[in-house]
Each structure stands twice: as C-alpha cells, then as structure tokens.
Amino acid sequence: MHVVDLLATKMFDVEVSAKPASASDVFPAWNAHDRFGVLVYEPLGGIGATHLIQMACALFYDCKPTRRSERKIYPEIYVVHVGKWWGTHVAYDFWPSRREHLVTGDHRDVLDAINDRGITRLAIPERPMRDLVHRNKEEDAALDRLATTLMYSPTGRISNPDMTISGNDKRTEVNPQRVLRPVHLTEAMTARAAKSSVPIKESEAEYRDWLRKHDCDISAEERADAESHRVKLRENGMVKESYRFVEASEALKCL
C-alpha cells in the first residue's frame, strides 16, 4: 500500500480548457464514499489513465486523512479487464486481488461489474457509441450513482481533449514503470517485507503469486509498445496525459 505515502494531489498539474485547474475540477465534490474504476480493453491499456488513477488514490486519502495515519487501508479503486487479462495493474495498489477483475466482452457483463463495485467515478478508453441494450434497470442504477465519467486513451493522449494532467514530481512515474516492468518477488524478498512495521502487499505470498500468474498476459512486443507510448508523453522530463469528460449516459453506450 505504498501509494498512501507516495502520492499527493499537489504532484499533478491540471488544465481544463487550457486554463489552470485542480483535482477538484477533475473529480468535483469527491467524498469518502467515492469509488474509482477504470476499464481496460487492450494490453496494459490502463497505463494511459495513470494520472487519473493516481489522483483518485490521493483524493481517497485526502478526503479522510485517518486512512493515511490510523487505518492505512488500500484505496477503493478497481480495474476491470474486458475480454481477457491485459496485464496486471496491481502496482497502482489495485489490491487485494479482487480489485482487479476479468469480465467477458459482453457489454452487459461490463456494466454488471461497474454496478457490483459501486463505481462512482469511471474512466473508459475512447470508444465509439453503439446502440447497446443493457439488462433491465442496470443502466439506470449506474446513472443514479456515477458522478464523473471520463474517456482516456491507452496511449495517454486522447483525441479532442478538454483536460490535461501532468506529473510535476518524479514519483508519479513509479507506478506505471512497475506495471510496465513488474518487480517479481522471491520468497526471501516477501519474507523481508513481512518484517515491515506497516502491513504491505509485498509481504504477502499471494501478491508474489499474482505477479507470476499474470506474467504471460501480454507479449514482449506489446510491453515494448506500451513503453514506447509512455516515452512519447514526456515533456521536460515529466509525463502529460490528456482526457475528455463525457456524459455518463454516453459512456454506457461505449462499453
């Protein structure tokens, strides 16, 4: 659960409509009951939403500081892999493993996953709208709950963006690099981590086994492509991503 100490909202520079903005403009009125979810449809696609994921983590702790100091809990963030596993994103602290979920490519199953997890802030990759028919009342349930919906690009730069988020601290690139190149733990490393005064996922054998289980989700070529996309996002040594706000009703037609 390293993000509790790694990230803060001040590490991100936001622009909305080319004007300086803040995390509250990205996720208005974030509260202690918010849950962030990101849908992934291609190899390591969630890396393109890195700054959204990390900002959601920071807000999770900012809105209730006891989560950093007393309870030290994992952020309520969820990644839904659609169709197949697209490479584990666990380094962002999608943990325990139930926070990273696989569904079929059926749009109805995707919406079920969103609703089952009570997602209130949703990021989906840029996709065309379709004439989708969801299960009875599932769409209404989501629309009643979703407070923010955004589109991202797996490459990190969406077409026709209305918002950018830039990291201004090198620590904002720790997590995406760990997703690109997972640190595979040995039993000895897990044992050393277990001696930490604060419980961390690296101390759990389940975490080590999870990384091994998903090591072959994607090919070496797909990993190299994702790394290349990340490098292209750098400006003055830091990464800038772009996003687009979208109405929840439109987003649910893009699943």
- How many alpha carbons lie under 13 Å from residue 173 in its C-beta half-sphere? 15
pLDDT band at 196 (very low <50, low <70, confident <90, very high): low
For the chain, give the percent of residues with pLDDT over 70: 93
pLDDT at 16: 97
Instruction: For residue range 48-89, list pLDDT tens digits in order.
Output: 999 999 999 999 999 999 998 887 889 999 999 999 999 999
pLDDT band at 40 (very low <50, low <70, confident <90, very high): very high
Least confident of 14-28, 67-81, 113-127: 67-81
Residue 65 belongs to what domain range? Answer: 3-251
Least confident of 36-40, 49-53, 181-185: 181-185
Per DSSP, the three-state class of 180 is helix
Closest CA to 47 of 200, 185, 228, 220: 228
Distance of CA 235 to the CA centre of its chain: 22
pLDDT at 141: 98
Average pLDDT over residues 21-30: 98
Which carries the bigger pLDDT value, residue 87 or residue 190? 87
pLDDT at 188: 61
pLDDT at 69: 84
pLDDT at 70: 83
Average pLDDT over residues 32-61: 98
Beta carbons of 229 and 176 less than 8 angstroms apart: no
Is the pLDDT confidence value at 249 over 60? yes
Which residue is associated with the tokens 């790694």?
A: 6
What is the number of domains present in the chain?
1
Is the pLDDT confidence value at 91 over 60? yes
Is the pLDDT confidence value at 194 over 60? no
Is the pLDDT confidence value at 230 over 80? yes
Rg of the chain on CA atoms, in Å: 17
Average pLDDT over residues 166-179: 96
Distance CA 89, CA 54 (A): 12
List all residues 6 or more positions away from 20 whose beta carbon is below 8 Å from its beta carbon: 13, 14
Strands 12-16 and 77-82 come out as unpaired
Distance CA 12, CA 179 (A): 20
135-157: burial string, b at 16+ Cβ within 10 Å, e else: eeeebeebeeebebbbbbbbbbb
Which residues share a beta bridge with 81?
A: 40, 102
DSSP alpha helix (H) spans, the chain = 3-6, 23-26, 50-62, 66-69, 107-116, 138-145, 174-180, 187-193, 205-213, 220-232, 248-251
